[in-house]
């Protein structure tokens, strides 16, 4: 069930990215902004990876998966846009996720030591 939901969400994300690509080709900046806003709402960081004090090993691995999925989505957005300010924002978000992923790996490492 969980995989099916993720697959459905992924298809929906792909559809929005296709629409964004079309909006860019048409030069419709208003439509681009609407699609980007929708994509941002779809990709809100999961609550599970917030600043909780203690995590189980499984929760940490799920956080890693969620961070990796979000980074993949950001990369797809980055490829789809020509707007330099949007590219900078997306790259900033990717760096924040890289830092978050390092922190999660540190927590995992502490479990194994």
CA distance 71 to 58: 20
Cβ distance 19 to 49 under 8 Å? Answer: no
| Residues 59-92: tens digit of each pLDDT | 889 899 999 999 999 999 999 989 898 899 999 9
**Residue range of the domain that includes 34:** 1-44
Per-residue pLDDT, averaged over 86-106, amounts to 91
Q: Are residues 36 and 68 in the same domain?
A: no
3-state SS, residue 1:
coil
Q: Are residues 2 and 32 in the same domain?
A: yes
Q: Are residues 56 and 83 in the same domain?
A: yes
Q: 5-14 — which CB contacts under 8 Å span 24+ positions?
A: 6/69, 9/42, 12/42, 13/39, 13/42, 13/43, 13/73, 13/76
Q: Are residues 55 and 21 in the same domain?
A: no
pTM score: 0.57
Domain count, the chain: 2
Please state, as a whole number, how many other Cβ atoms lie within 10 Å of the Cβ of residue 69. Answer: 16
| Residues 32-61: tens digit of each pLDDT | 888 887 777 666 555 556 666 677 888 889
């Amino acid at each position: 069930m969980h995989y099916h939901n993720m697959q459905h969400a992924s298809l929906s994300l792909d559809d929005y990215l296709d629409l964004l690509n079309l909006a860019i080709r048409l030069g419709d900046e208003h439509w681009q902004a609407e699609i980007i806003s929708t994509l941002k709402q779809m990709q809100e960081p999961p609550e599970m990876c917030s600043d909780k004090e203690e995590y189980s090993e499984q929760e940490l691995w799920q956080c890693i998966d969620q961070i990796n999925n979000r980074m993949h989505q950001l990369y797809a957005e980055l490829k789809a846009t020509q707007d330099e300010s949007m590219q900078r924002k997306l790259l900033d978000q990717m760096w924040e996720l890289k830092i978050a992923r390092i922190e999660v790996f540190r927590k995992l490492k502490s479990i194994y030591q």
